Structure 1
Amino acid sequence: MVDLGYKPLIKGEKVVLRPFKNEDFPFIEECLKDPEVLKLTGSSSDFDRESILKWYTTRNEQTDRLDLAIVDQSKGILVGEVVVNLYDEKSHSMNFRILIGPRGRNRGLGTEATKLIIDYVFKNTTINQLTLSVFDFNPRAKYVYEKVGFEVYGIDKNDLEFDGKWIDSINMKLTRENWISREKNAY
């Protein structure tokens, strides 16, 4: 098991990753109700405000996962979240996911947040790899994941039904070994 009880403050050039605060909730709500977020995450538009608020107020207490707010430094507001969760003991790996709401798109904030959290995980834990799944109709996210080193290792055919069509889910992973190799080549 990996202890992720410590919730860091991670500063980049464009974003800050930090623990959630109560004043984030209106911005979280905006992200979670955004039609593009709902589509790209395969989420339902059902929104139970009380349970969502309770969920986010307990994120900082979790020791088996890391949930951090993505804050746009230029505006000082939450524009999304990064999550490392679902520890797999057999492979000593965890799942990664990111969500960027309407105020944070198309400015490189998601790419920077992805790099920051990946670097944090590999520098501060013993995790062997990070895994993720991205729906086939989200090529922008797939491009970002590949840019930071994730590689495709499988496809779940017809994983999501959306607007009467079946969408594949692309499974990707980034191993510690590949991350180290990329870090060495970056300098």
Structure 2
Amino acid sequence: MSTATVLVLLVAAAAQGLQQPRLVYPRLLEERSPDGKMVLHLHDELTLNLEAAYVAAPKMRVLTHENGRPTTKFYDGEEINRNLYQDAEKMATVSLKTSGKGVELEGVVGAKHRIHPLPTKERSESGLVPHMIHEIEHKEGSDKVLTLREEGQHSHSHRDLMGTKPQKFFLNCLSSRCFLLQTD
């Protein structure tokens, strides 16, 4: 294969890959209205209509493994929900904090992008905090598909045998980690 062919293939592969990160300076167009909604401008092609999001139960129990041992941690769900906002139409969920004239947010903005602040980069002349929007890299893998059990089928998990099935639970994913959250 010639050097020119290899170069063309590399350029074509890069063109089909992830988009380059985008530097933005988010700003609030409308502060919180009486119903708690905000309008946040990210760039010319993306403005979010944010409303409060509630993903965590008031008291959360998170089960994880640390150093090969099961660990239980309790979190204040209201603290998690305090700065959490969503735009359901644009599939965005962000943690948002105001800082002077600017805002700092971190989360997902659409199905394919994430955003985070750049605290070490200089603010804009108007005091806006710089942020970077990255395309989310989707890796191929063999995920286990969870399906609803048909009526009449019985589960034989340890929890079922012990009679301690939770009344409510949530699957919460942050970054690349997912946690089963039990609320009872």
Report the TM range for the smaller structure's normalisation.
under 0.3
Instruction: Answer with 1 or 2: which has the greater Rg.
Output: 2
Tell me the TM-score normalised to structure 1 length: 0.27
Tell me the TM-score normalised to structure 2 length: 0.27
Larger proportion of helix: 1
Larger proportion of strand: 2
